């Protein structure tokens, strides 16, 4: 996760002041952290887009030190010597040198390669899928350091108690779809209705969950029919099913756009019809394996639902589309962080191809978010960890 990667660099920053350069000019050395965008091997220049959004051109002297650190390392103790030739576009670097405008006379480079970062992110995603939980906050008890959460979107979804006494907290920023923008938070910031992803372990009976990390956010998931598309402005306008009001969605480069194939939509539609015809099961109790009851509910660790369903795996298998592929009349489902203006959204996930799925019956309207017959945790991926 980017948070851990950035954390490694911050720790490196704390350690770096002890690294002196006796032959350096009497100027104050500065640190630059960012991602390599291009390299000129002949002149030993590296263009870096900093985390603040600026572009710095770093020139490495022949005697500049380059070391490779592991993403997430707590210190530079396990860093290994590297060379200029090992730098590549997409790598994360911390540069130490003397800045003059946008030019950096670089004396030391701490490198985290793109490959090592990807490997760590893959391992972390696997860990969150294995030991993670996606749920909706029902209530918060600060005196007991507990959260009562519901696994899934329906009111009859299973409830379990999260012990968060030793957990670290992060919270998504309003109108941001990036995990790296999530801020450190606390139990006091968690509110009923928030979506939650936690990493930890369940009790044998599935009724309790001891959390190590908790990420929360306030999200919207809405469905409706597209009325207009502007690929140039990166916007799509649709009429929300529930309010029947227009909503303008900004689709940035980080949004995931997917299409539900007709045959899959028909299957979901058939299950929706069967679920609507079935009698209400009444309040559900926590399942021993953490799986949510009923089609619309998400599941236990990793967000899996019934029959081992994993929403994130499904989302990644759906065909990728572009904004220009959408047209007026298409039915879409959109997830977004909750902002101040309900008529505007910034897409985290947008799924098209919902035409074959019937809308919810009147008895199920007005619930939490959109209920269009898709797996309930499919759009909870606003809590992605990238």
List, in order of start, the domains of the chain with CATH numbers.
Answer: 2-112 (2.40.50.320), 124-217 (2.40.50.140), 220-383 (2.40.50.320)
pLDDT in tens, 132-185: 888 889 999 999 999 999 886 555 678 899 999 999 999 987 766 566 677 899
Q: What is the largest CA-CA distance in the chain?
A: 80
Which tens digits make up the pLDDT trace of 268-281?
766 656 655 555 44
Let me know: does 33 contact 9? Beta carbons within 8 Å.
Answer: yes
Angstrom CA distances, 207 to 140, 153, 158, 202, 283, stand at 16, 18, 9, 7, 15
pLDDT tens digits, one per residue of 21-55? 455 455 678 889 999 999 999 999 999 999 888 99
The CA distance from 235 to 292, in Å, is 35
- Which comes out higher in pLDDT, residue 133 or 110? 110
Q: List, in order, residues 6 or more apart from 201 with CB less than 8 Å away.
A: 131, 209, 210
Other CB atoms within 10 A of residue 356 CB = 19
| Nearest one of 239, 256, 250 to 328, comparing CA atoms | 239
HSE-up of residue 186 (Cα within 13 Å, Cβ side): 3
| DSSP state, residue 82 | -
- pLDDT tier at 259, thresholds 50, 70, 90: very high
**String of b and e for 228-253 (b: at least 16 CB within 10 Å)?**
ebeeeeebbbbebbbeeeebbbbbee
Backbone torsions φ then ψ of 342, nearest 5 degrees: -65, -10
Cβ neighbours of 210 (radius 10 Å): 16
Mean pLDDT of 191-200: 90
The closest alpha carbon to 213, from 309, 139, 338, 127, belongs to 127
Q: Say what the pLDDT of residue 274 is.
A: 60
Query: Looking at the whole model, is its pTM more than 0.85?
Result: no
* pLDDT for residue 368: 41
β-strand partners of 185: 169
Tokens standing for 346?
Answer: 């910034």
**Cross-strand pairs, 215:** 170, 197
DSSP state of 320: B
Over residues 222-248, the pLDDT tens digits come to: 899 999 999 999 999 999 988 899 999
The runs of H, that is alpha helices, within 90-156 are 114-131
> How high is the pLDDT of residue 240?
92
Among 18, 174, 148, 160, smallest CA distance to 96 is for: 18
* pLDDT attached to residue 310: 52
Residue 170: name the closest of 152, 194, 146, 139 by CA.
194
CB 117 within 8 A of CB 244: no
Question: Is pLDDT larger for residue 267 or for residue 328?
Answer: 328
Got the DSSP string for 3-46?
Answer: HHHHHHHHHHHHHGGG---TTS-SS--EEEEEEEEEEETTTTEE
Q: How far apart are CA 291 and CA 306, in angstroms?
A: 6
Helix, strand or coil, per DSSP, at residue 59: strand
């Amino acid at each position: 996760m980017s948070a851990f990667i950035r954390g490694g660099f911050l720790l490196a920053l704390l350690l770096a002041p002890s690294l002196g350069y006796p032959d350096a000019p009497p100027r104050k050395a500065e640190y630059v952290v960012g991602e390599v965008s291009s390299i000129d091997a002949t002149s030993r220049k590296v263009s870096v887009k900093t985390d603040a959004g600026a572009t710095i051109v770093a020139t490495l002297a022949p005697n500049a030190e380059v070391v490779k650190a592991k993403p997430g390392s707590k210190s530079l103790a396990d860093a290994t010597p590297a060379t200029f030739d090992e730098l590549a576009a997409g790598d994360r670097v911390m540069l130490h040198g003397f800045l003059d405008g946008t030019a950096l006379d670089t004396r030391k480079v701490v490198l985290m390669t793109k490959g090592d970062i990807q490997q760590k992110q893959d391992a972390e995603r696997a860990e969150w899928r294995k030991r993670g939980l996606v749920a909706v906050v029902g209530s918060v008890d600060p005196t007991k350091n507990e959260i009562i959460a519901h696994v899934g979107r329906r009111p009859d979804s299973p409830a379990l108690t999260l012990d968060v006494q030793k957990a670290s907290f992060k919270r998504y920023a309003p109108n941001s779809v990036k995990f790296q923008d999530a801020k450190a938070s606390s139990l006091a910031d968690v509110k009923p209705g928030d979506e939650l992803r936690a990493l930890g372990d369940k009790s044998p009976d599935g009724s309790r969950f001891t959390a190590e990390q908790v990420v929360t956010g306030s999200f919207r998931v809405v469905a409706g029919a597209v009325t207009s598309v502007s690929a140039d402005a990166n916007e799509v306008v649709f009429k929300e099913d529930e309010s029947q009001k227009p909503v303008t969605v900004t689709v940035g480069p980080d949004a995931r756009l997917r299409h539900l194939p007709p045959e899959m939509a028909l299957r979901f539609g058939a299950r929706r019809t069967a679920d609507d015809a079935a009698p209400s099961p009444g309040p559900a109790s926590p399942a021993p394996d953490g799986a949510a009851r009923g089609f619309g509910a998400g599941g236990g660790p990793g967000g899996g639902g019934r029959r081992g369903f994993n929403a994130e795996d499904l989302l990644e298998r759906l065909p990728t589309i572009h904004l220009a592929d959408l047209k007026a009349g298409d039915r879409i489902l959109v997830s977004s962080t909750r902002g101040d203006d309900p008529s505007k959204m910034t897409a985290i996930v947008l799924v098209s191809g919902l035409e074959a799925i019937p809308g919810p019956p009147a008895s199920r309207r007005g619930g939490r978010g959109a209920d269009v017959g898709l797996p309930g945790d499919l759009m909870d991926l606003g809590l992605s960890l990238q």
